[in-house]
Structure 1
Amino acid sequence: MLERQLQQFKTRLGTYALLLLACTSAPHLAQAANPADPNKVIRQAFEAADDGFDMVKTQNHYSGWVSEAIFEPLLSYDYLASPAKLIPKTAEAMPEVTENGRVFTFKIKPGIYFAADEAFKGKKHELTAEDYIYTFKRVMDPVNRSPHTSFIDGKILGMADAIAKAKKTGKFDYDAPIPGLRAVDRYTLRIELNATDYNFLYIVAYGAFGAVSREVIDAYGQQTGLHPVGTGPYMIEKYVPRSKIILVANPEYRGTTWDFQSTGSAWDEQIVKDMKGKKLPQVGRVEISIIEEEQSRWLAFQDGQIDVDKMPQIAAPTVLDGDKLKPSFVSQNIRMNRVPDAGTTFTVFNMRDPVVGGYTNDKIALRRAIAMSYSHADEITQMRLGQAIKDEMMIPVGVVGYDPKYRSSIPHDINLANKLLDHFGYKRGADGYRTMPDGSPLVIKKTTEAKAEFKVQSEIWKKGLDQLGIRVEFVVGNFADNMKAATLCKIGMWNTAWNADFPDGENFMQLLYGPKAEQGNLACYQSAAYDALYKKAVSLPLGEERNKLYAQMNRQMEADTPWLMNSTRIRSWLVRPWVKGFKKHPILHADWEYIDVDKH
Structure 2
Amino acid sequence: MTGHWRQKLAAFALALTACTGALAAEPVKTLRYIFPAAETGFDPAVARDLYTGHVTQAIFETLFTYDYLARPVLLVPHTAAALPEVSADGMTYTIRLKKGQLFAPDAAFKGRARELTMADYVYSWKRLFDPRLGSPHAGLLAGKIVGLDALAAKAKLAGRLDYDAPVAGFELIDPYTLRIHLTQTDFNLGMILAHEPTVAVAREVIEKYGDTRGAAHANPVGTGFYKLAEWVRGSRIVLERNTVHHAETWNFKGNGTPEDARIIAQMQGKSMPQVARIEISVMLEDQSRWLSFQSGAVDLFWLDGPLAPKAIVDGKLRPELAAKGVQLSRQVDPEITYYYWNLQDPVVGGFSKEKIALRRAIAIAHDVDEEISKVWNGQAQRLDYPIPPGVVGYDPAYKSMLQYDRLLANKLLDRYGYKKGKDGWRTLPDGKPLVIRYTSRNEASGVLLAEVWRKTYNAIGIQMSNERMILQDLLAGERACKIQSRNFQWAADYPDGENFMQLHYGPNVHLNNASCLADPQIDQWYAASQKMPASPERDALFHKMARRIEVLGAARIGYARIRNMLAQPSVLGYKKHPILHQEWQYIDIDAGKLPAR
Same fold (TM over 0.5): yes
With over 3 angstroms needed to count, the CA separation of the structure-2 counterparts of 1:134 and 1:321, relative to structure 1, is same
Do structure 1's residue 294 and structure 2's residue 286 form an aligned pair?
yes
Which stretch of the first structure deviates more once superposed, 312-321 or 282-291?
Answer: 312-321
Deviations 1:468-523 (A, max 9, x none): 11000001111221111111111111213111111100011111111111112111
Aligned pairs for 1:50-65 within 5 A: 50-65=39-54
SS of aligned partner of 1:87: strand
Partners of 1:287 and 1:434 lie apart in 2 by: 51
Corresponding position of 2:9: none
Corresponding position of 1:425: 417
Name the aligned partner's letter for residue 433 of structure 2. P
Higher relative contact order at CA 8 Å, sep ≥6: structure 1 or structure 2?
A: 1
Do structure 1's residue 359 and structure 2's residue 351 form an aligned pair?
yes
TM-score for the superposition, normalised by structure 2: 0.92
How far is 1:99 from its partner?
Answer: 4.5
Partners of 1:100 and 1:465 lie apart in 2 by: 52
Structure 2 gaps of 5+ residues are 1-25
Partners of 1:381 and 1:391 lie apart in 2 by: 14
Corresponding position of 2:182: 193
Deviations 1:116-153 (A, max 9, x none): 11122234321001101101111122332221111111
Corresponding position of 2:298: 306
Do structure 1's residue 449 and structure 2's residue 441 form an aligned pair?
yes
Name the aligned partner's letter for residue 568 of structure 1. A
Name the aligned partner's letter for residue 167 of structure 2. I
Partners of 1:212 and 1:102 lie apart in 2 by: 26
**Contact 2:304–2:376 (8 Å) recurs in 1:** no
SS of aligned partner of 2:40: coil
Deviations 1:303-356 (A, max 9, x none): 111111122323333322312112111111111111111101122321111211
Aligned length: 564
Partners of 2:103 and 2:496 lie apart in 1 by: 31
Partners of 1:477 and 1:424 lie apart in 2 by: 33
Do structure 1's residue 140 and structure 2's residue 129 form an aligned pair?
yes
Corresponding position of 1:274: 266
Aligned pairs for 1:507-526 within 5 A: 507-526=499-518
Partners of 2:158 and 2:276 lie apart in 1 by: 46
Aligned pairs for 1:400-439 within 5 A: 400-439=392-431
Aligned pairs for 1:22-41 within 5 A: 39-41=28-30
Deviations 1:154-191 (A, max 9, x none): 11011122122222322211111111012111111111
Partners of 2:376 and 2:399 lie apart in 1 by: 21
Name the aligned partner's letter for residue 202 of structure 1. M
Corresponding position of 1:4: none
Corresponding position of 1:338: 330
Corresponding position of 1:76: 65
With over 3 angstroms needed to count, the CA separation of the structure-2 counterparts of 1:273 and 1:109, relative to structure 1, is same
SS of aligned partner of 1:69: helix
How far is 1:38 from its partner?
Answer: 6.9
Corresponding position of 1:159: 148
How far is 1:110 from its partner?
Answer: 1.0
Do structure 1's residue 369 and structure 2's residue 358 form an aligned pair?
no
Partners of 1:181 and 1:573 lie apart in 2 by: 41
Corresponding position of 1:19: none
Alpha-carbon RMSD: 1.3
**Contact 2:385–2:396 (8 Å) recurs in 1:** no
Which stretch of the first structure deviates more once superposed, 327-336 or 116-125?
Answer: 116-125
The match for 1:236 among 228, 234, 239 is 228
Name the aligned partner's letter for residue 598 of structure 1. D
Partners of 1:450 and 1:519 lie apart in 2 by: 23
Corresponding position of 1:533: 525
**Contact 1:157–1:180 (8 Å) recurs in 2:** yes
**Contact 1:133–1:182 (8 Å) recurs in 2:** no
Name the aligned partner's letter for residue 179 of structure 1. A
Which stretch of the first structure deviates more once superposed, 117-126 or 231-240?
Answer: 117-126
SS of aligned partner of 2:467: strand
Do structure 1's residue 114 and structure 2's residue 103 form an aligned pair?
yes
Name the aligned partner's letter for residue 445 of structure 1. R
Over the matched positions of the two proteins, sequence identity in percent amounts to: 44
The match for 1:169 among 158, 163, 182 is 158
The match for 2:86 among 97, 122, 139 is 97
Do structure 1's residue 497 and structure 2's residue 486 form an aligned pair?
no
How far is 1:397 from its partner?
Answer: 0.7
Structure 1 gaps of 5+ residues are 1-36
Name the aligned partner's letter for residue 435 of structure 1. T
Which stretch of the first structure deviates more once superposed, 458-467 or 136-145?
Answer: 136-145
Which stretch of the first structure deviates more once superposed, 143-152 or 271-280?
Answer: 143-152
How far is 1:527 from its partner?
Answer: 0.7
**Contact 2:50–2:581 (8 Å) recurs in 1:** no
**Contact 2:379–2:561 (8 Å) recurs in 1:** yes
The match for 2:246 among 234, 242, 254 is 254
Partners of 2:75 and 2:179 lie apart in 1 by: 19
The match for 2:341 among 349, 364, 371 is 349
Name the aligned partner's letter for residue 105 of structure 2. A
TM-score for the superposition, normalised by structure 1: 0.92
Name the aligned partner's letter for residue 190 of structure 2. L
Deviations 1:524-547 (A, max 9, x none): 111111111101111111111111
Name the aligned partner's letter for residue 238 of structure 1. E
With over 3 angstroms needed to count, the CA separation of the structure-2 counterparts of 1:170 and 1:319, relative to structure 1, is closer
Deviations 1:539-576 (A, max 9, x none): 11111111121111111111122222221111121111
Aligned pairs for 1:556-571 within 5 A: 556-571=548-563
Name the aligned partner's letter for residue 402 of structure 2. I
Partners of 1:148 and 1:482 lie apart in 2 by: 17
Partners of 1:359 and 1:240 lie apart in 2 by: 46
The match for 1:67 among 56, 73, 77 is 56
Partners of 1:42 and 1:496 lie apart in 2 by: 30
Partners of 1:55 and 1:354 lie apart in 2 by: 34
With over 3 angstroms needed to count, the CA separation of the structure-2 counterparts of 1:216 and 1:439, relative to structure 1, is same
SS of aligned partner of 1:79: coil
Partners of 2:138 and 2:241 lie apart in 1 by: 31
**Contact 1:447–1:492 (8 Å) recurs in 2:** yes
SS of aligned partner of 1:588: coil
Partners of 1:593 and 1:403 lie apart in 2 by: 34
